[in-house]
Structure 1
Amino acid sequence: MASDRGAPWRWAASRLPRWWPYALIAFVTLLIRLPTIGNPILDFDEQLYLLVGDGMWHGQLPYVDMWDRKPLGLFAFYAAIRLLGGDGIVQYQLVAAACVAITACLIRAMARRHASETAAVVVAIAYVLTLNVLHGAGGQAAVIYNALTAFAVWCAFNANDEERAGAVARQALAAMLAMGIAIQFKYTPVIEGMFLGCWFLWRLWRLGVAPTRIVALATAMVLAALAPTALAIGCYAANGHLDDYIYANFVSIFRRLPFSAQVRHDQAMTIIAMAGGLIATGLWGLWQSRQRLHDTARSDFWLLAGWVASAFAGFALLGDFFDFYFITVALPLALASAGAVRRGPHGFAAACLLLLWPALGTPAYYFLRGHYQHATARMVERIQPYVVGHPLYVYDGPAVLYLLAKAQAPTRYIYPDHLNNPVEAMALGVDPVVEEQRVLAARPGAIVTASRPVVPHVAPGTQALVRAALARDYVLVDRVPTFDRTFFIWARRDLHPGPAPIHDPRADNPQ
């Protein structure tokens, strides 16, 4: 009689509590993200979010005193994180890790509908690993709101099991509220929200609900989805800054100049290189699910396929293919990959592809927390003597320096990309050259520049003004090398009398 080689594993699994997969996923998530926790300049965007969130506690209004085009909910989220104490860096990274763990646990729960426990845990962990190669190791907006999207889709899967219209309606309202909150982190999830809304209405129609009741529920779903945004609009209307809110949130994005076709091609190739394993396995798993799911589970397949398609549509909506934009698509692709992780050599190969591709592609900066902590502390130490009673201007460098150096900014455009990136020239609501002149007229006590830009092209008008001001009024007091760039700290000449203590030819022409 042949031995049952799987019996010991099944016996051990039967002795574990039912929640063990979730505990494992949470532990692995923390373990994977631990090397980055405490890195103050882990990524660009979240530095701005933390800075704006902190400013809100000091009476500064997003879009009015600190400009960006992200929805208010994202800044409110980071403002809430500031209640956790400290400088907010470790705090936001731990909160982001919790959001990742929640998302991964929801992936596992949805995958278990038609896949083994092993496959479900593998695809959940693959999602966590993939974030590291898509600039999602910290607190990008999608890292946070993917938890809300996953919850909404989980509600839709639950609705597929329901035969009672009331239960489907409750799932629909919960999902639409979750998507409404997600939209207050970034507007592109509106595409996924529209798809899910249509899905719930289709489910009600299949249950034989009367058209009048479907219309009533559709209205309630739309109101639930729009409620968070309506609340934000109402707050700005009440304080007299509705125009600022509308321009930043709904107008400016359409006034950005597009990147060239070559830049977009390079961006797309980067995403394929970073997430190719997940893309291939997700699409293959989706195809496998179509072949294997029997008639009673067809609705699950079409829900998943529609979600993947709507996520791709949301990703393509803005036309620029930054790798961190793809985090939204990584979520449904991870779930779809469960269809490929099966018993046998093909399933084993799929699991290896999912886990090894992002592990091998993890960028070097992921492991350099101490290096970046030391570099940031050095920059803050060199800046602080010159920003007592004078503003700091980060022309190109870590925006978090404003927070860590406890310095005032001379402009509401505190994200360096806004004034030095030519694609933003028409989208800011001001002439960037005029704004740059105003910034330099404020005579910042210190200016930060970098050895090379992070954008494909630099705005020549603002760059020329900064170069002229540095040559005329500033001395270089330090250059701080990091793994990928060197940052130059300039002090106003009258605050640092005497010759420049450091000379570096590259600093003569910032960027």
Structure 2
Amino acid sequence: MAVRALGVPALLLAFTLFVRFNALGDPDYHVDETFYLLVGDAMHHGAAPYVDIWDRKPPGLFAFFWLLAGISTSVLTFQIAAVIFTAATAYLIHLIALRWADRTGAALAGLTYIAWLQPLLGGGGQSPVYYNLFVVGAVALLVRGLDDLPVGIRHRHAIGAALLCGIAVSFKPTALFEGAFVVLAFAWREWSRTRSASSTLHLFVPMAVAASLPTVLAMAWYIAHGQFEAYWQATVISNFHKGRSVAAVWAHTVRFLLLLSLPLTACALLGQVRARQEQGCSPFALLIRGWLMAALAGFLAVPNFYSHYALPLVPVLAVAAAPWFAHGLVGRVVAVVSMIWALHYGQSFDFDKATQSAARFERVTQVLRANMPHGTLYIHDGTPWLYHTTQARLPGRFVFPEHLAMSNEAPAIGVDPVAELARVLAQAPDAIVVTDTLRPEYNRTTFAMLQREVTARYTLVCALPGADFEHSFTFYIYALNQAPDRRQCPSAAARSGKVLPKPWPA
């Protein structure tokens, strides 16, 4: 019996390792997650998020990466953690799905979750890969509470679910919608059972306290250190000031996500049709549909769309699809085809990807090190993880390149990006890095300033290939007016001259 009980968790873990194996050790899967690890490492050296390194992500995410950086600053640290979190989340999805699917259908729901993270930029360490576990855990407690209705809601389950939601919100604010759904669903159940305002408040108040606890603790830390203004500007004010995406970019992204996710959403719709036929509007079905609405609200709450913003939708869509996956041979075949589609577009079958990416990244690191006599570097476009691999000093608070390079960030970061870039360039960094990644929303003013500086004082050392999950691009490395060291640079890739390439449309 014990062996059989371990069967599904072992299957889910093995499948997670298989689909994510090709990203293990990749230092350039995506710029976000290595930036989080860079911040986590900097925190071990006294830096405080928002004060010394600026970003708008909530403090829970950086605290988590601080813990990971305390183990190791290898990218494998957060990637292995992502494997564990993904498999654990899939197992909880399987348990929830057992409410309206057989064992096979529920297991396929868990496997579907694992597969469908891949094409949505979830094969690395994006924040939903971690906080989905807390949200799904809270929903699992909510679902478990259905069995407690005759005798009353267990307060420890309700408070535990609220705390899990609070932790999720401390990773990303949009989890607030799912957290609010869980808390209100518990309160509504208590009201429906008792019709007592005092009994409902007796449940709701401690849940509200538990849900807000992670955020309150973070605020208290910044207040105690006299840095609340920096915390508030970064995590709250900046979210309202960031500009919207260019309309063409927004439309393209939405079309891409709709087409890419069509197999998963179709399975979820088919699953709901079948569930309605078999169960009607059961309490469980209503909970899952409420969860779906909350997840959709979180997705739509942000006016800018990136592929990974859809990751919080995957758990509830996988659960919603479970009744269809339990629909005999047809349902199982559709589930497998859907997963193969996801793994193909998620690049899971590109088994040499991490090795090739690591080799390319090491070449860029070596060229930079050879041209950094004073250990100073500025990355205007490209992964900030190069600051770590080259052991360069950070040039200032704005280490994530988009904050100074993108026009929609200019009103949100709390300082004048032109003045900040002027301050950085006045330090005469040994090397400057840009890439030719398409940036329709680039900041023309800061780019023009960089162009003038490079033309006057820098020499192009090398142009090296790079690739993350979404793009293939070229790293352009410039050295401060000196004879460039091209020993690590292929002669065919080296160029003479000082003009900054114009990778972005005018």
- The TM-score with structure 2 as length reference comes to 0.93
- 1:213 corresponds in structure 2 to 199
Which of 405, 412, 421 pairs up with 1:420? Answer: 405
- 2:78 corresponds in structure 1 to 92
- 1:56 corresponds in structure 2 to 43
Q: Is the 8 A contact 2:460 2:497 kept in 1?
A: no
Which of 180, 186, 192 pairs up with 1:194? Answer: 180
How far 1:510 moved relative to its partner?
4.3
Alpha carbons of 1:497 and 1:349: their partners in 2 closer, same or farther (altered >3 Å)?
closer
- The residue type equivalent to 2:463 in the other structure is R
- The residue type equivalent to 2:214 in the other structure is P
Q: Is the 8 A contact 2:245 2:441 kept in 1?
A: no
- 1:117 corresponds in structure 2 to 103
Classify the secondary structure of the residue corresponding to 1:371.
helix
How far 1:357 moved relative to its partner?
2.0
- 2:327 corresponds in structure 1 to 343
Write the deviation string for residues 129-174 of structure 1: whole angstroms up to 9, x where unpaired: 1111001110001111000011000000001111366643221101
- When structure 1 is superposed on structure 2, of 228-237 and 106-115 the one drifting more is 106-115
Where do 5+ consecutive residues of structure 1 fail to align? 1-13
- The residue type equivalent to 1:56 in the other structure is M
**CA–CA distance in structure 2, aligned partners of residues 387 and 58 of structure 1:** 22
**CA–CA distance in structure 2, aligned partners of residues 211 and 387 of structure 1:** 67
- 1:151 corresponds in structure 2 to 137
Q: Is the 8 A contact 1:105 1:124 kept in 2?
A: yes
Is 1:377 equivalent to 2:365 in the alignment? no
Is 1:509 equivalent to 2:495 in the alignment? no
Write the deviation string for residues 384-431 of structure 1: whole angstroms up to 9, x where unpaired: 234343421011111100111111121211011111111111001111
Q: Is the 8 A contact 2:461 2:485 kept in 1?
A: no
**CA–CA distance in structure 1, aligned partners of residues 363 and 476 of structure 2:** 11
- 1:394 corresponds in structure 2 to 379
Q: Is the 8 A contact 1:285 1:339 kept in 2?
A: yes
How far 1:79 moved relative to its partner?
0.9
Alpha carbons of 1:283 and 1:365: their partners in 2 closer, same or farther (altered >3 Å)?
same
How far 1:504 moved relative to its partner?
6.4
- 1:5 corresponds in structure 2 to none
- The residue type equivalent to 1:476 in the other structure is L
- 1:264 corresponds in structure 2 to 250
Q: Is the 8 A contact 1:146 1:328 kept in 2?
A: yes
Alpha carbons of 1:426 and 1:208: their partners in 2 closer, same or farther (altered >3 Å)?
same
Classify the secondary structure of the residue corresponding to 1:360.
helix
Classify the secondary structure of the residue corresponding to 1:149.
helix
Is 1:475 equivalent to 2:459 in the alignment? yes
Is 1:230 equivalent to 2:235 in the alignment? no
**CA–CA distance in structure 2, aligned partners of residues 248 and 314 of structure 1:** 20
- When structure 1 is superposed on structure 2, of 201-210 and 187-196 the one drifting more is 201-210
- When structure 1 is superposed on structure 2, of 258-267 and 188-197 the one drifting more is 258-267
- 1:430 corresponds in structure 2 to 415
RMSD: 2.1
**CA–CA distance in structure 2, aligned partners of residues 294 and 364 of structure 1:** 38
Alpha carbons of 1:365 and 1:444: their partners in 2 closer, same or farther (altered >3 Å)?
farther
Which of 285, 293, 297 pairs up with 2:279? Answer: 293
Which of 286, 292, 316 pairs up with 2:300? Answer: 316
**CA–CA distance in structure 2, aligned partners of residues 506 and 360 of structure 1:** 41
- 1:328 corresponds in structure 2 to 312
**CA–CA distance in structure 1, aligned partners of residues 66 and 37 of structure 2:** 7
**CA–CA distance in structure 2, aligned partners of residues 165 and 173 of structure 1:** 17
Is 1:408 equivalent to 2:393 in the alignment? yes
How far 1:274 moved relative to its partner?
2.1
- 1:488 corresponds in structure 2 to 476
**CA–CA distance in structure 2, aligned partners of residues 107 and 505 of structure 1:** 56
- The TM-score with structure 1 as length reference comes to 0.92
Equivalenced residues, count = 493
Percentage identity across aligned positions?
32
How far 1:16 moved relative to its partner?
4.6
Alpha carbons of 1:497 and 1:294: their partners in 2 closer, same or farther (altered >3 Å)?
closer
- 2:18 corresponds in structure 1 to 31
Classify the secondary structure of the residue corresponding to 1:226.
helix
Which of 170, 191, 208 pairs up with 2:156? Answer: 170
- When structure 1 is superposed on structure 2, of 326-335 and 114-123 the one drifting more is 114-123
**CA–CA distance in structure 2, aligned partners of residues 118 and 299 of structure 1:** 23
**CA–CA distance in structure 1, aligned partners of residues 485 and 304 of structure 2:** 46
Q: Is the 8 A contact 1:451 1:506 kept in 2?
A: no
Alpha carbons of 1:213 and 1:495: their partners in 2 closer, same or farther (altered >3 Å)?
farther
Alpha carbons of 1:409 and 1:365: their partners in 2 closer, same or farther (altered >3 Å)?
farther
Write the deviation string for residues 346-396 of structure 1: whole angstroms up to 9, x where unpaired: 423431343122023224895411111011111111112343434210111
Q: Is the 8 A contact 2:372 2:431 kept in 1?
A: yes
How far 1:469 moved relative to its partner?
1.2
Write the deviation string for residues 213-257 of structure 1: whole angstroms up to 9, x where unpaired: 211221111110000000000000000100000000001011011
- The residue type equivalent to 1:370 in the other structure is T
Q: Is the 8 A contact 2:190 2:199 kept in 1?
A: no
Is 1:445 equivalent to 2:433 in the alignment? no
Q: Is the 8 A contact 1:275 1:357 kept in 2?
A: no
**CA–CA distance in structure 2, aligned partners of residues 75 and 317 of structure 1:** 22
Q: Is the 8 A contact 2:459 2:498 kept in 1?
A: no
Where do 5+ consecutive residues of structure 2 fail to align? none
Is 1:136 equivalent to 2:128 in the alignment? no
Q: Is the 8 A contact 1:452 1:510 kept in 2?
A: no
Alpha carbons of 1:472 and 1:179: their partners in 2 closer, same or farther (altered >3 Å)?
same
